[in-house]
C-alpha cells in the first residue's frame, strides 16, 4: 500500500500527465499513478544504483516498462526531449530539492506543474518558485508515522508573482488553513528557534543580523500560534 503522503502527492498529477518522479526510489509513486490512470506516462529518475535497480525490478514486475522509463542520473538530467509536463520531487530536504531545480532548470521547458514534498525547509522552495514563475496553487500538510510533511503544488505562469517573507516561511495556503498539524509543526519550530536564539545570545561575538532574523521569525510564529509567552 502506498503511503498516505505519496497518495496525496499523486492526487496532484493530472489525468494523462507525462510526469517525471525524481529520486523515485522503488518507483512506488509512478507505478501507483500509472495503475490508476491508464493514460499517464512517466519517468522514474534515480541517482543511486540500489534504488535504481529496485525501481527497474518493480516497474518490470508490474508490467509497466512500456509506460514508465526508469533512468539512472542526477536530478532533472534524466528528462531528455520527451514532453514531460509534470515534475515530482518528494522525500528530500528543501535545500536538496532546490539544488536539483537550479541545476536542472533547462529541463523544465515544458513543465507546467511542479509537485514538491520537502521534509524540511520548504521556504527555500517557495522562494525558488516565486523567482521562476511557478505560482503555488495548493499546499498540504500531513502527519504520518510521527513525521510532519508538506506538499507544495505550483503551476507555471507568465506574469511576475510575489510572496511576502512571512508567506514564504509558513506557506500561504497552510497559513490560511492553520490546521492542528500546522500548529503542531510551528510549536516544534518555536522551541527550536528559542533554543537557537538563546545559544546565539551567549556567544562572544553576536551576529546581530542573523539574531534579528530569528527574532522576527519567532515573533511571526508566536503571532501565528496566538501565543504571547
Residues that bind ligand SAM (CB under 6 A): 6, 22-25, 45-48, 51, 74-75, 90-92, 100
Cβ distance to ligand SAM smaller for residue 25 or 190: 25
Q: Which three three-digit cell numbers place residue 60?
A: 518490470
User: What's CA 87's distance to the chain center, in Å?
Assistant: 11
Q: Could you tell me the smallest distance in angstroms from the CB atom of residue 30 to ligand SAM? A: 10
| For ligand SAM, the closer CB: 97 or 167 | 97
For ligand SAM, the closer of residues 107 and 190 by Cβ is 107
Q: Smallest distance from the beta carbon of 107 to ligand SAM, in angstroms?
A: 12
Strand 113-118 to 86-92 pairing: parallel
Going through the chain in order, the beta strands assigned E by DSSP cover: 18-22, 41-46, 68-72, 86-92, 113-118, 134-144, 147-156
C-alpha torsion 19→22→26→27, nearest 10: 0
- Residue 17 vs 221, nearer CB to ligand SAM: 17
Q: Which of 23, 3, 31 is nearest to 13 (CA)?
A: 31
User: Nearest distance from residue 141's CB to ligand SAM, in Å?
Assistant: 16
CB of 50 to ligand SAM, least distance (A): 8
Amino acid at each position: 500500500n502506498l503511503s498516505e503522503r505519496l497518495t496525496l502527492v499523486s492526487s496532484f498529477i493530472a489525468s494523462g500527465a507525462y510526469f517525471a518522479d525524481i529520486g523515485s526510489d522503488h518507483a512506488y509513486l509512478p507505478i501507483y499513478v500509472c495503475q490508476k490512470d491508464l493514460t499517464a506516462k512517466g519517468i522514474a529518475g534515480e541517482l543511486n544504483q540500489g534504488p535504481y535497480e529496485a525501481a527497474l525490478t518493480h516497474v518490470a514486475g508490474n508490467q509497466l516498462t512500456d509506460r514508465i522509463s526508469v533512468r539512472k542520473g542526477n536530478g532533472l538530467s534524466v528528462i531528455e526531449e520527451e514532453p514531460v509536463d509534470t515534475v515530482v520531487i518528494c522525500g528530500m530536504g528543501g535545500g536538496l530539492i532546490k539544488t536539483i531545480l537550479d541545476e536542472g532548470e533547462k529541463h523544465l521547458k515544458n513543465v507546467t506543474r511542479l509537485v514538491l514534498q520537502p521534509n524540511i525547509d520548504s521556504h527555500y522552495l517557495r522562494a525558488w518558485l516565486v523567482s521562476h514563475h511557478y505560482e503555488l496553487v495548493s499546499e498540504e500538510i500531513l502527519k504520518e508515522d510521527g513525521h510532519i510533511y508538506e506538499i507544495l503544488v505550483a503551476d507555471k505562469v507568465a506574469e511576475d508573482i510575489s510572496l511576502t517573507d512571512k508567506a514564504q516561511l509558513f506557506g500561504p495556503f497552510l497559513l490560511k488553513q492553520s490546521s492542528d498539524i500546522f500548529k503542531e509543526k510551528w510549536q516544534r519550530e518555536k522551541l527550536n528557534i528559542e533554543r537557537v536564539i538563546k545559544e546565539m545570545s551567549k556567544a562572544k561575538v553576536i551576529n546581530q543580523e542573523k539574531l534579528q532574523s530569528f527574532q522576527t521569525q519567532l515573533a511571526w510564529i508566536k503571532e501565528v500560534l496566538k501565543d504571547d509567552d
